[in-house]
Amino acid sequence: MYDYKWPYPLEYDREEIINADVLVLGGGIAGCMAAIAAARAGQKVLLVEKGATKRSGAGGSGCDHWESAATNPCSKVTPEELTQAMLHDNDGFNNGISHYIECREGYDRLLDIEKMGGKIRDTEDEFVGAEFRDDGTKFMFAYDYENRFTLRIWGTTFKPAMYKELKRLGVNIVDRVMVTSLLTEDGIQGARCVGATGIHTRTGKFYIFNAKSSIICMSRPARIWLFSAELPGLCEFRPPQCIGDGHAMGWRAGAEFTMMEKSVRAEFSAAGRSYPPYGAGNNHNTWYAASIIDSRGKEIPYADRDGNILKDVKDRFRPAKGQKFFMKGGGIDFPKYEIEGPETLPFSKMIEEGYKLPFYADLTDLPEEERKVIWGMMVGQEGKTKVPIYQNYTRQGFDPSKHVLQCYGAGWTSASFLPQERQLFGLPGGFFNDWTLGTNIDGLYVAGDALYASDCYGHAAATGYYAGRHAAKYAKVNELKHWDKKQVEDEKRRVYAPLKNDSERGIGWKELNMAIAKTMQNYCGEIKYDDLLKVGLSRLKEYEENIIPQTFAYNPHELIRLLEVFDILTVSKIIIEASLARKISMKSLCFVRGDSIEDDSSKEKLIVIKQYDGKVVTREVPVNYFGDLKENYEKHNQDYI
Amino acid sequence: MREMPAANPIIYDSSKCIGCNRCMEVCQVDIFIPNPEKGKHPIVAYPGECWYCGCCVMECPVEGAIELRHPLMNKVHWVEKSILMKNNKE
């Protein structure tokens, strides 16, 4: 606890107005690529980012692999095959449009990023001759070495390269501003989006952004069930300021959402329950296919999908007999048989067979290029591993040819969470989109993690660029509409209110976040019941009506943290409303009801939910609402093809 | 009065830091504030909010001026494989 004077000038209530053709909300991977696309289409682009665009967002510090680059010259899988596999793997509960865009355009974006200065090839010839390397293109592949659709990348170089490109293109970048609301025509909920409001995270200044079209490129929600007042930065996998502001302001503006009832038992990164991601023993993702040994040094074998033990390390990178391809990477927890890849024996079986705990990840006996590509390239490039894991462990004496790293959970989680400790992870809910990545709100587009069933770097980059193109197209044929004065004044009152409350009796952002998380664990935990969900909802409404008016913030930094928690509260309400609307247990949505009804008419339907005039409105949409992937993609993208 | 935080994510080497504030400007969570004393390293005003991404270290122009340290509870253990094998024989 320090007693320093706030170091920045306080500019509460001061107002700045900025106009643009295309407004990009959020400067992560999706936001940067959206702004680049719109600027290349000749539009005047404004990008607003809460942190610092150079390194902001979940992928700002790095990334080690790029999934679904189906159109790269070495790939043996088509975009259609890959998207269909992703849809099938989730019984249809996946975003066919956005993942088809990822499969179809992801490789184009990689080449784009390379031109900007990002490293995507082994240009130093460090891995010449390795089985995962194509010596012609110098591309390095991960997981399925035969089908070659996932590339290993030097992701720590990507974000600064995008930042440079934004500047080169003349994009107006406004850093350190939290976007707080969407502005709609005449202030009417559900009407055309005409811009947004924001507040400076250091000075508290108020911003009005006025644009022809807007793109939400903000994160998926977080800190709904998980919170630690001491270590809020370690609560979730994604950065602490990425908590789903976009979802909350979209809901208030009348945008449609889907799959918001889906949550999973937390996997990692909550303070206290887990170890640094990819920094403890595991054999998934960054660490695939490390050997796993027990505490006597005995190796736990890998098996293919049929249970055949794989004797050779090389077999860990090949599809099983009769299998076209397998998938690994983010969000593949319990894969379907068709795409199931090699895996160490299930945890229960290991114990049954007498393997002794704890287990360790062991790179010592791997072929040298496999060891070097995991400990070195992958661990050196993944999001939060370069400095705290690769550099620090090396400095402390970790030698991958000698040491083995302890596992703390079964598989890739490195954690032990309780059932009610949940996360929006593994293709969670988000904005409902059409083939332009547009929403039900005219002029409002969505990309990256804000979309429903989103995941991974390539998905963010590909959908960002795509939404940027379509938002630019919209801006070219639509006039700039003025914002509604009353809507702005109401928002100003809302965001500054906590500053005027009583500090002595005040409730801070941490206290409120903790209360919301406890409420969600109690009333909207692993198993849902109508009765409990309804009580949970009324608790949240009580917070909204009685507690928010008592909240207090000492400075602009605390104020934006508090506004984030207001957004967390809104998102929690969406989750409970969506859970109430889904009456049956659904394995594909990790949704369990203790009072599931017999009727399964909604089984293959997405529940699409929005708010209108203070009421919740739901409708059901078939999971395959997007129609034929190739045909519809081509219909909407003639100018790109 | 001061209180020890639950974690101390950023440790500066004052003899190496040149006080350029680049770490502060690149931090997406904005956990730092500038030092009131010009030329000195930034103050970690919100240590609990650190995401442990390491961008401050990557941005730092002087090697070794910043150390990023996970809280003690996140310390992962490793051991020499030969020691495990030896234990097994015993």
Output the pLDDT for position B90. Answer: 58
Same domain for A42 and A66, yes or no, is yes
DSSP state of A614: T
Structural domain contains residue A59: yes
> Which of A198, A205, A158, A159 lies closest to A182, judged by CA?
A198
* Contact between chains at A406 and B80 (C-beta distance less than 8 A): no
Measured between alpha carbons, how far apart are the two ends of chain B, in Å?
54
User: Would you say residue A269 has pLDDT above 70?
Assistant: yes
**Do A491 and A471 reside in the same domain of the chain?**
no
User: Of A61, A402, A414, A510, which to mutate for an interface test with B (greatest number of B Cβ within 10 Å)?
Assistant: A61
Does any domain span residue A102? yes
CB A63 within 8 A of CB A153: yes
Report the interhelical angle of A457-477 vs A29-40 (nearest 10°).
Answer: 40
Q: Is residue A202 part of a domain?
A: yes
Q: Does A636 score more than 60 pLDDT?
A: yes
Contact across the interface for B82 and A402, Cβ inside 8 Å: yes
Tokens encoding B35: 């030092």
Tokens linked to A434: 């059409």
Find the CB nearest B48 among A52, A232, A404.
Answer: A232
Give the chain A residue nearest B45 (alpha carbons): A2
- Joined together, the tokens standing for residue A154 give 């030097």
Q: Is residue A4 part of a domain?
A: no
- CA dist A119 and A128 (Å) reads 16
Domain match, A349 and A375 both: yes
User: Tell me: the pLDDT tens digits for B1-19?
Assistant: 788 999 999 999 999 999 9
Query: Do A341 and A354 reside in the same domain of the chain?
Result: yes
Nearest to B28 among A51, A229, A232 (CB): A51
Domains of chain B, by residue range, sit at: 10-89
DSSP tag of A603: T
Return phi, psi of residue A285, to 5°. Answer: 55, -115
Residues A552 and A501 in one domain: yes
- The percentage of residues in chain B with a pLDDT greater than 70, rounded to a whole number, is 98
Contact at 8 Å (CB) between A493 and A231? no
pLDDT at A330: 67
Residue of chain B whose alpha carbon sits nearest to that of A360:
B78
Percent helix / strand / coil, chain B, rounded to 5: 30, 15, 60
Is residue A600 scored above 80 in pLDDT? no
What average pLDDT score do residues A375-391 get? 95
pLDDT score, position B2:
84
CB contact under 8 A, A1 and B59: no
| pLDDT-based confidence at residue A271 (cuts at 50, 70, 90) | confident
Is residue A158 in a domain? yes
Q: How far apart are CA A153 and CA A378, in angstroms?
A: 8
Give the number of domains in chain A: 3
Of B29, B85, B87, the CB nearest to A51: B29
Q: What is the tally of helices (H) and strands (E) in chain A?
A: 15, 26
Q: How many CB pairs under 8 A join A and B?
A: 155
- Average pLDDT in the A260-278 region? 89
In a shared domain, residues A518 and A577: yes
Whether A260 is in a domain gets the answer: no
Whether residues A60 and A175 share a domain: the answer is yes
Instruction: Pick B28's closest partner by Cβ from A5, A52, A298.
Output: A52
Q: Which fold has domain B10-89?
A: Alpha-Beta Plaits (3.30.70)
Same domain, A466 and A380: no
DSSP state of A186: G
- The H or E element that residue A495 is part of is helix A485-500
Q: Which of B29, B36, B77 sits opposite A233 (nearest CB)?
A: B29
> Å from B70 to nearest chain A CA?
7
Q: Does the pLDDT at position A331 exceed 90?
A: no
Percent of chain A at pLDDT above 70? 99
**How far apart are the C-alpha atoms of A634 and A26, rounded to whole Å?**
28
Instruction: Kindly tell me if the per-residue pLDDT of A411 is higher than 70.
Output: no
Question: How far, CA to CA in Å, does A519 sit from each of A166, A515, A516, A610?
Answer: 42, 6, 5, 22
| Residue A586: DSSP 8-state | B
A1 has pLDDT over 60:
no
Q: In the prediction, which pLDDT does A383 show? A: 87
The answer to whether residue A276 is domain-embedded is: no
Compare CB distances from B84 to A51, A239, A295 and report the shortest one's residue: A295
pLDDT in tens, A303-315: 999 999 999 999 9
Name every chain B residue with its beta carbon within 8 A of the beta carbon of A200.
none
Range in A63-72, A466-475, A600-609 with the lowest mean pLDDT = A600-609
Report pLDDT for B87: 76
Q: Which chain B residues contact residue A293 at CB under 8 A?
A: 81, 84
Average pLDDT taken over every residue of chain A? 96
Task: Tell me the chain B residues in contact with residue A240 when contact means C-beta distances shorter than 8 Å.
Answer: 29, 49, 51
B44 CA to chain A: closest CA distance, Å? 9
- Rounded CA-CA distance A118/B72 in Å is 34
Return the SS3 of A17.
strand
- The answer to whether residues A48 and A30 belong to one domain is yes
Mean pLDDT over A219-224 rounds to 97
| CATH code of the domain containing A445 | 3.50.50.60
Q: What residues of B are in contact with residue A362 (Cβ under 8 Å)?
A: 81
Residue A52, domain member (yes or no): yes
**Residue A289's domain spans which residues?**
285-325+333-406
Helix (H, G, I), strand (E, B) or coil at B55: helix
Q: Is residue A410 over pLDDT 70?
A: no
Burial (CB count <10 Å: 0-12, 13-18, 19+), residue B37 = exposed
3-class state of residue A257 by DSSP: strand
Which of these ranges, A202-216, A415-429, A548-562, has the smallest mean pLDDT? Answer: A415-429
Q: Which residues of B touch A239 (CB under 8 A)?
A: 28-29, 51, 53
pLDDT bin (cut points 50, 70, 90) of residue A404 is: very high
Same domain, A477 and A493: no
Q: Determine how many CB atoms are found less than 10 A away from the CB of residue A243.
A: 26
Alpha helices in A524-608 (DSSP H): 530-542, 556-581
Average pLDDT of chain B is 95
Residue closest to A303 by CA, chosen among A346, A332, A337:
A346
Tokens of A593: 């009801």
Across A436-461, average pLDDT: 97
**What angle (nearest 5°) sits at the alpha carbon of residue A162, between those of residues A159 and A168?**
145
- The C-alpha atoms of residue A465 and residue A165 are separated, in whole angstroms, by 13
